[in-house]
């Protein structure tokens, strides 16, 4: 059956069928080949997109801008200091205005409800660049990277997310693995497992029953055995510095080390991270916390720089998968 995503918003992978996700991955690979060959069809010529950023970004902003420009579109960037949204103008009114100016809207911020309301009122496709509970463009890039580095179909791949299993990347992986029939393990402290959103767990397990996926929550090191992918994310984000002492104490046993990779018993296991990562002490926050006696690194530098690490291939693939989402929905 032909897949047509024209006019669709991209808010969460839970809105898409496995066939539609497969289409986006195949389109991503095709656009990547064209980019590397130096050819383009200017599939977005004459289109205008706006990027709404309430949270700062490196990869997401650059990927959206370069993806659009590669294909001939024009980009406008608005951050929280250069927009009236939510201050002097309601979200609904802002969405309706932007929908008159632009062919597509990207949002990166906090509440999932904001990106959903933008899609409800804008009248044009809206793309989720990250919220507190999801990061669907990242998961597309991660899946493309896995297909490039793991010699298995996705439905035979086991992904282990280690660390703060309540964060948006852990949930985003649950959605992606459930949809594509993959084996997902959230490997972290039981106290965090008890705080997971029960409604989300119910939904992903319902999808998993249909696709053959397996969704596990575990605090046992035995759960990483047979993993094809070890994934992690930072333990504390900007503005959460006060939580660092408790986070370090709670999550250090789940730090990604060479010993953790060895526990997979898979010599070809790959390490992935959405970035930015604390893997050394070359960042301001890591240095400051080290002086206070806290090692906030969620992954060791040894792992980050090892042959297992594919983090920069993964980062590049943000460009190609985001380009596929834009082209598929407004191209």
Active-site residue set: 108, 135, 138, 233, 274, 318
- Please give the C-alpha separations between residue 326 and each of 5, 31, 137, 269, in angstroms, as whole numbers: 10, 12, 11, 31
Cα–Cα distance, 297 to 33 (Å, whole number)? 35
Q: Phi first, then psi: what are they for 82, rounded to 5°?
A: -125, 20
**Distance of alpha carbon 118 from its chain centroid, rounded?**
20
Nearest residue to 278 (alpha-carbon basis) of 326, 215, 216, 233: 233
**Strand 214-218 and strand 48-53: pairing?**
unpaired
DSSP 252: G
3-state DSSP percent of the chain in helix, strand and coil, to 5:
50, 15, 35
Cα–Cα distance, 183 to 161 (Å, whole number)? 11
Q: Identify the three-state secondary structure at position 80.
A: coil
State the DSSP string of 112-160.
HHHHHHHHHHHSS-EEEEEBTTB-HHHHHHHHHHHHHH-SS-GGG-EEE
Burial of 315 (0-12, 13-18, 19+ CB in 10 A): buried
Cβ atoms of 139 and 13 within 8 Å: the answer is: yes
Nearest residue to 67 (alpha-carbon basis) of 56, 77, 75: 75
């Amino acid at each position: 059956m032909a897949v047509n995503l024209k006019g669709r918003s991209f808010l969460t992978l839970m809105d898409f069928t496995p066939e539609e996700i497969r289409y986006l991955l195949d389109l991503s690979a095709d656009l990547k080949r064209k980019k590397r060959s130096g050819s383009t069809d200017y599939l977005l010529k004459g289109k205008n997109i706006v990027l709404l950023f309430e949270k700062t970004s490196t990869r997401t902003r650059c990927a959206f801008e370069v993806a659009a420009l590669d294909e001939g579109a024009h980009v406008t960037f608005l951050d929280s200091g250069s927009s009236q949204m939510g201050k002097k103008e309601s979200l609904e009114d802002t969405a309706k205005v932007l929908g008159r100016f632009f062919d597509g809207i990207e949002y990166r911020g906090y509440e999932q409800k904001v990106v959903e309301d933008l899609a409800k009122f804008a009248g044009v496709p809206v793309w989720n660049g990250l919220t507190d509970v999801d990061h669907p463009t990242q998961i597309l890039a991660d899946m493309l990277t896995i297909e490039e580095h793991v010699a298995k179909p996705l439905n035979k791949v086991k992904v282990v997310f280690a660390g703060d299993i309540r964060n948006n990347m852990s949930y985003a992986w649950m959605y992606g693995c459930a949809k594509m029939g993959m084996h997902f393990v959230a490997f972290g402290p039981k106290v965090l497992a008890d705080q997971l959103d029960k409604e989300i767990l119910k939904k992903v397990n319902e999808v998993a029953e249909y696709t053959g996926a397996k969704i596990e929550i575990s605090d046992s090191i035995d759960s990483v055995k047979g993993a094809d992918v070890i994934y992690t994310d930072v333990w504390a984000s900007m503005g959460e510095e006060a939580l660092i002492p408790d986070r370090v104490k709670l999550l250090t046993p789940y730090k990604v080390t060479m010993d953790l990779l060895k526990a997979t018993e898979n010599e070809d296991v790959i390490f992935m991270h959405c970035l930015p990562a604390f893997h050394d002490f070359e960042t301001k926050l890591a240095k400051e916390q080290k002086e206070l006696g806290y090692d906030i690194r969620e992954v060791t530098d040894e792992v980050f720089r090892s042959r297992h690490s594919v983090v920069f291939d993964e980062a590049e693939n943000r460009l190609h998968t985001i380009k596929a989402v834009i082209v598929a929905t407004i191209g």
